[in-house]
Amino acid sequence: MKHLLFTLTFLSFIACNTSPEKKAPNEVKGYAQGTTYQILYLDNRNFQRSVDSILIAIDNSLSTYNKRSIITNFNQADSVLEVDAYFIDVFNMAKEVYTATEGAFNPTVTHLVNAWGFGFENTEKTDSNSIDSLLKLVDFDGISIQNNKVIKNRKELMLDFNAIAQGYTVDVLADFFDEKNVKNYMIEVGGEIIAKGKNAEKKSWRIGIDKPLENQEERVLEAVINLENAALATSGNYRKFYEKDGVKYSHTINPVTGYPVRHTLLSATVVTDNCALADAYATAFMVVGLEKSKKILKVNPKLEALLIYANEDGSLSSYSTPTLAEAVEVIE
């Protein structure tokens, strides 16, 4: 759900209308990680500088667009590199989702993403021979962490945490606000969100989920989720794609086949208590499609999800886990 070919946001919070008598939330916002961020919180203190410092530190660890970051150095290293706590946290969570989804979430898909023109190199080398060759470099099992050092068994292996890092950033910022004893806040980075407590209206934060429509100039909402003390992330294929020789290529690459996915699932919104995991699972669901996503949800009771998919006639339908359905307002 990132911004490589098209700048987009799959979801946004719906700001409450505060009357003059009611206290408006404080706001911190700006640009980071190639996208925007916005934080609303009910507290008189100004945390702009602290937030910006956290964002810079994470960028220096996890951004593939930062030429001096730890992950960039790892991708260029021969085998071993010392890493920081941010890198280790994200690596371990990525391994967790990689295992739970049987490899559908795989941050070593980097070479393939670049080959299809969606990565940080945008090489667009997509003949079948090159894809078969690059599949050999999709090997998360070939990378491990020992004693604060990341080790790869082949120099060519690369990592890209783009599908989990923004969610993780939200979690780190939430930890900061928790440490500052801020009880009510909403944090959004690139569309990934965590909400704690209540908004200025003393109600749950209301998060809008976009209707997955191509070439839509104005936002049209499919649903609104009432979010309280939970994290939310959305991934989708309906805007980020390109067409070549009459064929539409989705930005979601299947790590097993090496090719862009082709199925009916258009958008996956995951709600859980950890935004990094929500981010990663939303991406994995866009890889495996509707039915496999439902199976994963059945064995992971801590995950809630709203899945929007296309019917044969082009109309849209949605599936929601039972608990989340109580918090979802579908917009007709």
Give 101-130 as a DSSP string. Answer: TTTSS-TTTHHHHHHTT-SSS------HHH
Kindly state the tokens that stand for 227.
Answer: 């979010």
For residue 114, how many other CB atoms are within 10 A of its CB?
20
303 close to 217: Cβ distance less than 8 angstroms: no
224 close to 207: Cβ distance less than 8 angstroms: yes
| Sequential pLDDT tens for the chain (332 residues) | 443 222 233 344 554 444 444 467 899 999 988 889 999 999 999 999 999 999 999 999 999 989 999 999 999 999 899 999 999 999 999 999 999 999 999 999 988 888 877 655 554 556 677 888 899 999 999 999 999 999 999 999 999 999 999 999 999 999 999 999 999 999 999 999 999 999 999 999 999 998 887 656 667 888 999 999 999 999 987 555 445 444 444 578 899 888 888 888 999 999 999 999 999 999 999 999 999 999 999 999 999 999 999 898 888 899 999 999 999 987 76
Rg (CA), the chain: 20
- pTM of the full predicted structure? 0.89
310 close to 200: Cβ distance less than 8 angstroms: no
Q: How far is 90 from 83, CA to CA, in rounded Å?
A: 11
Kindly state the tokens that stand for 100.
Answer: 């739970």
Q: Taking the domain 11-330, which CATH number applies?
A: 3.10.520.10
The domain spans of the chain are 11-330
Residue 82: in which H helix or E strand, if any?
strand 80-82
